[in-house]
Each structure stands twice: as C-alpha cells, then as structure tokens.
Amino acid sequence: MGSFPEPQIAAAQRLDRVGVIIHPSRNISRPLRKLRGWAGSRGADVVQIPIRPQDPPVADEGDPTDCDLIVSIGGDGTMLAAIRAAVAADRPVLGVSSGSLGVLTSVAPAELPDALDRFRAGAWVPRRLPALDVTCDARSGLFALNDLAVVRDGMGQIRVTTRVDDILFSRLAGDGVIVSTPVGSSAYTLAAGGPLLTPDTEAYLLTPLPTHGGSRHPLVVGAGARLELEVDGGIGGARLEIDGQIATTRPASVTVTFRPAVATLVSFADQEPLFASLRRRRVIVDSPRIVADDELG
C-alpha cells in the first residue's frame, strides 16, 4: 500500500523534442543544465512551454502538442501546471524536484539524464491520475487534479450545504470545505485534518474546514457519485479555488464528479512509495511514545 498501481512497462518511443516547464523563482540551473546536456548529446530539441508571464525564458517557446514529453522542474505546484498543459495534448509528464521532493515529482536533478534514457527505452511506468470535473453555476469545463476548495473570502462565515446524488449529507457554517482527489488528499486536505487515500483509490474526499459547531465529518465519496455544494457566502463572500488558484468569486452552486485516468505521469518501478515519501518529509510522524521507546532501545 502507499504506492501507485504499476501497469505494464511502456513501449519504447521517440524523444526528439522535450517541453520544459519551470518554477518561476527557484534555482533550476542544475536540472536545466542536465536536460540541455542530454538533449544536445542525443540530437533532441528543448522548448519552453509558457505558463506564467513572469517565468524567466530558458528556451524557445514551444507547443505541448509538438513535444514527446513534458518535463517539470520545480515542486508539486509546478507539476500541476505542467500536467494541466499536458492534458489537452495527451502528453506524459516527468517531474524533476527542485528544492523539495513533492508527491508528484519523480526524480532528483542528478537522475534526470538516466530518467530520460529510461523513458526513451520504454523502461518506465505510466502513472495515471484522475481529476475532478467541476461545474460552478453555469460555468463548466473546469477540473481539479489536486483539490478544489470553497472558502470564505472575507469576514464572517459561509454556509455550505452538501448533497451526494441528491441526498443531503451536511449543512456547515464556517470557513468552507475541500474536495480532493486521492493524490490531493496528501495536500490541503491532510493539513485540514482529513483522511489520506492511497493513490489507487477509486473515490474522492469531502473535508470540512473549521466550523461553528455541529458535526464536522469528512466523507469519502465513491467514484460514481455526484457531489453538490450549495454555497451561501454570507457577509464577506466566498470564492472557489482549484488547485490553489482562484477560479471564481461568489460561487452559489458547485457540482463535482470523478473522472479517472486524465493525465499520465512518468514513474519508475524503483521510485519511492508515497507513504515513504510522506514519512521522510515528516508529513506523517509516529506517536511521541513510539519515538521515545525506539530511542531507549
């Protein structure tokens, strides 16, 4: 448990053009140098996929549809941006950690040339990620790879009524709610006290943020179920955030459904399991009593 499912090893494929997406402020010189060196020695092109206007230019601009692979250099936030860019083009994404090792990134900078060789040889495991399709009021076509949150946008509380397949689950008054994918359960949801789902779980999560009294139970929603949020923004208003970015303000009605296998991440059979990664980064820690017993031998 704690690892992503391992489908059959992918077939060997061309790797003539690599699209790169970078963190806007971290020092990415080492992995970028590794990427350029690998490409130069194998006759491949490197292009930059524009995401944010403030991203420093590191290569000529390119289109994801013209690339064989998208490489993200940064953390999980950069990976989410890269995955979004790759989804429409149906391209796989390889995550290179820069400054921290997140849940979505696969390799350290020093491992990048070997990872690219393994990808080209087909010695990699396609890691398929689900998403949450989101309709907010009359606006459709939104999707969340990590999570969506309906949160208060100012003073006072908001009220959120939640229904699963038209059946009332709860009515909450407080800071709002988070709805997350299995991968997203290790991010904002976990910080808010929600449960952690194994990556292959066919379900998604509803987790309340701090409330004003009443019950505050997280809910695991089956993959085939529809979740509806009715929002009353109160005095200060509410906003809808998708993968950490504000999608709209003053949402009144949000509908969420589960969509499997939306994106493809490049992973490897010897990659660190999710739970091991969370424990190493001390997101998951043992009881102090257990730690004390271990220290005493």
| Each residue's pLDDT tens digit, 215-268 | 889 999 999 999 999 999 999 999 999 999 999 999 999 999 999 999 999 999
3-state secondary structure of 289: helix
DSSP assignment letter at 148 = E
3-state secondary structure of 175: coil
The answer to whether 76 is a known catalytic residue is yes
Which domains does the chain carry? 17-124+268-290 (3.40.50.10330), 131-260 (2.60.200.30)
Strand 238-242: give its sheet, edge to edge. Answer: 219-222, 203-208, 176-180, 147-152, 238-242, 245-249
Residue ranges with strand state E in 119-232: 125-136, 139-144, 147-152, 158-164, 167-174, 176-180, 203-208, 219-222, 227-232
Rounded mean pLDDT, 68-82:
93
pLDDT tens-digit profile of 136-186? Answer: 998 999 999 999 999 999 999 999 999 999 999 999 999 999 999 999 999
Cα-based distances in Å from 161 to 80, 148, 197: 29, 16, 24
Closest by CA to 181, choosing from 144, 236, 128, is 144
Average pLDDT over all residues of the chain: 91
What CA–CA distance (Å, rounded) separates 71 from 96? 7
Strands 139-144 and 125-136, how do they pair?
antiparallel
pLDDT of residue 12: 67
3-state secondary structure of 296: helix
Rounded mean pLDDT, 201-217:
92
Residue 277 clears pLDDT 60, i.e. is over it: yes
Q: What pTM, to 2 d.p., does this model score? A: 0.89
Given the residues 76, 147, 153, 175, the one annotated as active site: 76
Beta bridge partners of 97: 74
What CA–CA distance (Å, rounded) separates 137 from 76? 29
Helix (H) or strand (E) segment spanning residue 17 = strand 17-22
pLDDT tens-digit profile of 89-129? Answer: 999 999 998 866 567 888 999 999 999 999 999 999 999 99
Helix (H) or strand (E) segment spanning residue 47 = strand 45-48
Rounded mean pLDDT, 1-24:
72
